[in-house]
Each structure stands twice: as structure tokens, then as C-alpha cells.
Amino acid sequence: MLRTPSTFPKVPPFHGETVFSLREACKQGNLREAVSTFTASLTEDRTSLLDNPDEAYAPLLELCAKSRASSLGRQVHAHVLKFGVATPESVFLSTKLVFMYGKCGYVCDSQKVFDKMSDRTIFTWNAMMGAYVSNGKNLEALELYRQIRVSGSPLDSRTFPCALKACGALGACRVHSNEELGEKVAKKLLELNPKNPGNHVLVSNLFAAESRWNDVRVVRMRMKADGLKKTPGCSWMEVGNKIHTFIARDKAHPESHKIYQKLAQIIEKLENEGGYVAQTKLVLHNVREEEKVEMLHGHSERLAIAYGLLSTSDDTPIRITKNLRICEDCHAFCKLVSRLYQRELVVRDASRFHCFQDGFCSCADLW
């Protein structure tokens, strides 16, 4: 059965101190405080959580999804299952679980929760479609969209964009050398959303790839005049229930010295044993070759990989989230790391999940 949004259960207000503290921590995006409150409540005030589970657990699952805190998300899931809070009939919490697992890269777990649900709303279908798309399972997402259309169920404002995203990715135009198409689509994006700096950067990169530096200069001057700034590359990962953040070429992390030492060792190993050569053509700046190499090696996901190899056991997958699309050189870098270090790497970039194992990626080099 598919419910319409109007039949979605209303969450009654709840004013327990524990639940209030938990909701406030989640609202502020304070993962550390949310973990502390949740952990304490399991032994000190469990009743507060169980009295109104939707009010207590939904914000926590949303924060886990946003922070890619899969370990905490699994703890929450285990807790609600243990006490019979999230059953196949509990649409609201089950939908949040589908969403959380999808955002954290566990699409199989999203699928398991989804399949067990006896009742679904359009929010549930959207969450499952989103999980498929972000994990590169575009055919499955489109099949789900077809099922909704055939059923005659009402769609909402998120359903069609999700299906549309499954049909293709704009950034692939440059990756697969179709700059002409990419430029047309990017300029159309500028018309639709001229205040989005990412659209300007995309056009600038397309020009730079063709060495059209005067056009690049025009785009950047326009961005400056409009007060638009490029979003810096940022990656983060969860280690020991703590989120570690890395910014491109930054040294703010307390273990920065060790991280850069480890990164240098990784690069040397990849060059000597894997034949790695930095693809400096991807650095779209008019600078010296040495500077281009340095810029590539400073990408945020490489810092995260170095920290992951330093701080996790050999049998633990390294899971990284990145705010921008992964570049071709970092993609090749990750494939070599997975093969030479025999480590599974899971990178969630702005487009999809990339699962690297034994020198191969789940995206089949199409992203």
C-alpha cells in the first residue's frame, strides 16, 4: 500500500528532557552531543526514548545520514529493533532508516528495510530511489520510478528530479571528452540558476580544459562581481565515533604532520609499484607543472585516505565523504591504493558512491 503525504502520521509533541536534549543536539548538527545524550539515555532514561520513538529517533537518524555516521546509525537501528519500535508497519521510522542507510552507502540495507515495509508513502519511495541513485544503481532507481507511475500514485516535487538524476550526470561530459555538450548544458544551468557558484565553476573548468584562458578570466570576473566564491574541496570520515574533516592542502588536523608523511609514502609506493603518474592536465590553472602535481596531491580525499590508513585496522573499509565530484586523478589514485594496500575504499562524492576494491571501482569509470 502507498500512502499519500496527507495520510502520513503526525508526530505528537513530546517534552521529555532527554528527547528535547537529543532533538536540540540534532537540530544544531552536534553529532558529539547527540551521541552522548543517546548513549546516556540507554541506561539512564530509556523510557523517554521509547515513549515517543518517532520524536526521539527520527532527528538522530537524519543527523547520522547528514554526517555519514553509519556506526551510530546501526546502533540506533539495533536499539529500535530490540524494543520493537521500528516494525514493518512503522512507516515513519522505517523511511528514515532507508534514507540513512542510503546516504551512508549501504544501499543493500536500505533495500532490506524497504522490502520489509508493509506500508509506504511517497517519501519512502523517494528515499529508496535516492539511495539507488547515490550508489550508482540508476537502472534500479528508474524501475522504482516506473512502478510508482504504473500504480497511479501521486508524486511530489522530489520524485521527478531524482528520476532525472538517474538518467545522467552533467560532470560526465568533461570526464568523457564531450566538452561541446557540457558547455551547452552548463550554460543552460547558468540561465536557470545564475547565483549558484558551482555552475560558474563548471563552465570555467570546461573553458580551462580547452586552454581558453580569456574565457576563464571572464567567468571568474563575473563570479567576483556577483560575490560568488568557489566551494573548497572538503572530505570527512568517521573514526571511533568522531568525524574528522580534511580541506584541500590544509594542515589544520592535529595529526597533520603524520598525515602528510603517510601521504608521501603512499605516493612513492603508487609510483614505484603501480606506475602512477599525476594527470596534471586536470589542474585547470595556468601554473608550473610542479605546482600542478602539488595541487593534485593535496586534494582532500587523499588526506583522508592517508589518515584512514594510519588510524584503522587493515581489515576495515575506509569510508570517505567528499563535497565535490572526485577528479579523474584521485579516482585513479584510489584504485591503485585499493589494489596495492588491499583495502576497500568507499568514497561518496557529489555524484555517487565509488566502491574501490582490488584496483576496480563500482562505477566502472563512468561518473
**Over the stretch 214-238, which tens digit does the pLDDT of each residue have?**
888 888 898 888 888 877 889 999 9
Locate 363 and state its grid cell: 562505477
Q: Are 202 and 259 in the same domain?
A: no
- If one counts the domains in the chain, the total is 3
Range of the domain at 357: 234-361
pLDDT, residue 319, reads: 95
Q: What are all long-range contacts of 201-205, with beta carbons under 8 Å and residues at least 24 apart? A: 201/230, 201/231, 202/170, 202/171, 204/284, 205/174, 205/284
Q: Are 244 and 216 in the same domain?
A: no
Locate 101 and state its grid cell: 542507510
Q: Which residue has the higher pLDDT, 111 or 56?
A: 111
Give the single-character DSSP code of 316.
S
The CA distance from 261 to 36, in Å, is 33
Q: What is the mean pLDDT of residues 337-366?
A: 91
Say if residues 262 and 337 touch (Cβ distance below 8 Å): no
End-to-end CA distance of the chain: 35
Characterize the bridge pairing of strands 242-247 and 120-121: unpaired
Asked if residue 367 belongs to a domain, the reply is no
pLDDT, residue 13, reads: 40
Residue 179 pLDDT > 80: no
Greatest CA separation for the chain:
65
**Whether this model's pTM surpasses 0.85:** no
Asked if residue 10 belongs to a domain, the reply is yes
The CA distance from 209 to 78, in Å, is 49
Asked if residue 355 belongs to a domain, the reply is yes
Asked if residue 295 belongs to a domain, the reply is yes
Asked if residue 88 belongs to a domain, the reply is yes
Q: Are 277 and 352 in the same domain?
A: yes
**Over the stretch 38-49, which tens digit does the pLDDT of each residue have?**
777 766 556 656
Q: Are 101 and 220 in the same domain?
A: no
pLDDT, residue 111, reads: 94
Q: Are 283 and 246 in the same domain?
A: yes
Q: What is the mean pLDDT of residues 286-304?
A: 91
Helices marked H in 28-85: 31-44, 46-51, 53-67, 70-82
Q: Are 160 and 176 in the same domain?
A: no
Asked if residue 257 belongs to a domain, the reply is yes
**Over the stretch 96-105, which tens digit does the pLDDT of each residue have?**
999 999 999 8
Asked if residue 16 belongs to a domain, the reply is yes
CATH number, position 85:
1.25.40
**Over the stretch 260-289, which tens digit does the pLDDT of each residue have?**
999 999 999 999 999 999 988 878 777 888
Residue 25 pLDDT > 80: no
Least confident range from 79-83, 256-260, 292-296, 306-310: namely 79-83
Asked if residue 366 belongs to a domain, the reply is no
Q: Are 209 and 338 in the same domain?
A: no
Alpha carbon separation from 217 to 64, 213, 224, 258, 327 (Å, rounded): 40, 6, 10, 38, 22
Q: Are 308 and 256 in the same domain?
A: yes
Q: Are 151 and 63 in the same domain?
A: yes
3-class state of residue 290 by DSSP: helix
Say if residues 322 and 349 touch (Cβ distance below 8 Å): yes
3-class state of residue 78 by DSSP: helix
Q: Are 291 and 154 in the same domain?
A: no
Locate 251 and state its grid cell: 594542515
Give the single-character DSSP code of 155.
P
The CA distance from 237 to 319, in Å, is 6
Single residue among 117, 132, 166 that ends a domain in this structure: 166
Single residue among 117, 134, 166 that ends a domain in this structure: 166
Instruction: Kindly state the percentage of the chain with pLDDT values over 90.
Output: 35
Residue 11 pLDDT > 50: no
Q: Are 246 and 352 in the same domain?
A: yes
Single residue among 146, 166, 186 that ends a domain in this structure: 166
Instruction: Kindly state the percentage of the chain with pLDDT values over 70.
Output: 83
Residues 6+ apart with CB under 8 A from 358: 338, 339, 342
pLDDT, residue 170, reads: 41
Q: Are 191 and 141 in the same domain?
A: no
